[in-house]
Amino acid sequence: MKALRRKHDDALVRRLISGAYIDPLTNLFNRTSFAEAVAVGLMRAAAAGRLAAVLHLDIDGFSRINQALGTGAGNRLLVEIGDRLRRTATPADLVARGGGDEFFVFLGDAADLGELQRRIDRFREALRQSVPFDGHELSVSVSLGSAVFPEDGASADGLINAASTALDVCRRLGAGQALRYAASFGVQARRALELAQRLRRAAIADEFALVFEPLVDCQTGNAVGAEALLRWCPEPGLSVGPADFIPVAEQSGLIVPIGRWVLDEACRWLARWRAMGADALRVAVNVSARQLHGGDFVETVIEAAARHEVPLSQLIIELTETAVLEDVALARHTMERLVAHGAALAIDDFGTGNATLATLQDLPASILKIDRRFIAKALADKRSRQLLEASVAIAHILELSTVAEGIETPNQLALVRHIGCDVAQGFLFTRSLPGAAFERLYVTPSPTGDAAHHGGEIGTHPGRRRRGHDLAAHAASAC
């Protein structure tokens, strides 16, 4: 009887300890026990003359995953992330859940910064693999802030706070970033905030403009359309490219109104060029993941086209691999609705992310845009070239037309022509131009009903494509 009671008391004490120090969902250390363990880990690191680090991670867009798939699914994802971190940890490391979608890792017993970096890379790599989820693959993006002992903080709290500050800066920069703490972060964080405030004003004050980069038929040299690119001109003579402000716009949610403006402005130019007789010219518009998954994206596109009386068949929606991979099922659903209305889908920056052609096959895409780095590499070494050739060949089998991005030299053009890319764009042809300049150079009336004669056709592989002639069949003008 006494033995039985003792056993019961034992179980109770174990439950109490677990409740106090262990996160019940993931069975990892919680925030409290983690801070205590870091304090111990730092004392041991100091005594042994070793380096240590704290990583603070969070899952990008987790609330959206929760909303879309439900809390149960969100919890399963948290458990999976926790397991991956635990499997990647060495015996000297400690993984903890910080609450919500945040995790901490303590890296102990490192010889030097290089070793710490390699270990951090392993954690990032483990999280980069997509998660099988109810029959489809869920791609997870994680932001990571790190702080190194003793350089970035000498106490447990100091080090954890430094890692959290680094994470905070990551979040402002956009999804999927990893940064080590730096004393200058206070300044950087302030700059990001200022940029967001200026962007907000810009959205009201009409400081945005579109420029157009011609899409050129590789065989005929004729322009068959244009990619619309966003520029921000906060003051006269100063033009800021998207790479510098889109991450901040995405983070602050401004991307939605800005994206709406881009679609409207692209349709406005299209309407103008249609009125000039170029009624087959196509304009490609870049769309971010946040816009795509924003709920009323399809309606926004349809309304913009209707407002300017432009057929959707003149619009190409460009999505990056990363945007698609964030939620393939949702991307497919959204794009199928737009394609049903006549718009074309292009996959942008192919070759930079983890997208496989098999994933892309599930999407209603008709155009594959090959990233400039992929092409630059193909000129430099044989293996990359073979890989590029194979990708183009497979794209054609999948009835995708191919666009080579970032063509800057005649050699690059010769290469992409040789391997069968349909369309090219880049500085070799012309730098991106304001609408009026593009119009002077490239917009001429297309003969009614026979546009292809005027502009040339991409069809270097007759009969191969059903959908693959999107950029070519209605060419607007010659270069």
Partner 1 sequence: MILQLMRRALVSAGHDVIAVSDGDTALAQLEAAPVDLVITDIVMPGREGIELILEIRRRFAALPVIAVSGGQLPGGQDILDMAHRLGAIRALAKPFRPRQLVDMVEICLA
As a whole number of Å, the CA-based R_g of the chain is 26
Closer to partner 1 by CB, 150 or 234: give it.
Answer: 150
3-state secondary structure 347-393: EEEECCCCCCHHHHHCCCCCEEEECHHHHHHHHHCHHHHHHHHHHHH
Q: Is 36 an interacting residue with respect to partner 1 (CB under 8 A)?
A: yes
Length of the chain, in residues: 479
3-class secondary-structure state, position 330? helix
Q: Where are the beta strands (DSSP E) in 111-172?
A: 131-133, 136-138, 142-149
Binds partner 1 by CB under 8 A, chosen from 5, 8, 31, 41:
41
CB 277 within 8 A of CB 442: no
DSSP assignment letter at 29: B
Closer to partner 1 by CB, 89 or 178: give it.
Answer: 89
295 exposed, middle or buried (CB, 10 Å; 0-12, 13-18, 19+)?
Answer: exposed
Binds partner 1 by CB under 8 A, chosen from 1, 3, 16, 55:
16
Taking CB under 8 A as the binding criterion, the range among 18-26, 63-71, 175-183, 187-195 that sits at the site for partner 1 is 18-26
Q: Is 160 an interacting residue with respect to partner 1 (CB under 8 A)?
A: no
Closer to partner 1 by CB, 18 or 411: give it.
Answer: 18
Region of 225 (left: φ > 0; alpha: ψ -120 to 50; beta: rest) is left
Binds partner 1 by CB under 8 A, chosen from 14, 122, 383, 418:
14
Closer to partner 1 by CB, 17 or 390: give it.
Answer: 17
Least Cβ distance, residue 300 to partner 1 (angstroms):
46
347-365 core/surface letters (b: 16 or more CB in 10 A; e: else): bbbbbebebebebbeebbb
Q: Which parts of 61-120 interact with partner 1 (CB under 8 A)? A: 94
Q: Is 39 an interacting residue with respect to partner 1 (CB under 8 A)?
A: yes
Number of residues that bind partner 1 (CB under 8 A): 21
Least Cβ distance, residue 59 to partner 1 (angstroms):
21
Binds partner 1 by CB under 8 A, chosen from 8, 18, 257, 309:
18
Closer to partner 1 by CB, 154 or 306: give it.
Answer: 154
Taking CB under 8 A as the binding criterion, the range among 33-41, 268-276, 397-405, 408-416 that sits at the site for partner 1 is 33-41
Alpha-carbon distance of 298 to 80, in angstroms, equals: 33
Q: Write the interaction track for partner 1 spanning residues 294-333; mark x where CB under 8 A is met and - where it is not.
A: ----------------------------------------
Report in angstroms the alpha-carbon separations of 236 from 210, 344, 435.
Answer: 15, 35, 17
Return the closest-CA partner of residue 471 out of 413, 423, 412, 427.
Answer: 423
Alpha-carbon distance of 348 to 372, in angstroms, equals: 11
Binds partner 1 by CB under 8 A, chosen from 8, 10, 99, 434:
10
Q: Is 37 an interacting residue with respect to partner 1 (CB under 8 A)?
A: yes
Closer to partner 1 by CB, 18 or 239: give it.
Answer: 18
Q: Is 48 an interacting residue with respect to partner 1 (CB under 8 A)?
A: no
Report in angstroms the alpha-carbon separations of 120 from 31, 83, 144, 170, 179.
Answer: 20, 16, 9, 15, 11
Q: Is 261 an interacting residue with respect to partner 1 (CB under 8 A)?
A: no
Closer to partner 1 by CB, 22 or 478: give it.
Answer: 22
| Residues of this chain that bind partner 1 (CB under 8 A) | 9-10, 13-18, 20-22, 24, 27, 29, 33, 36-37, 39-41, 94
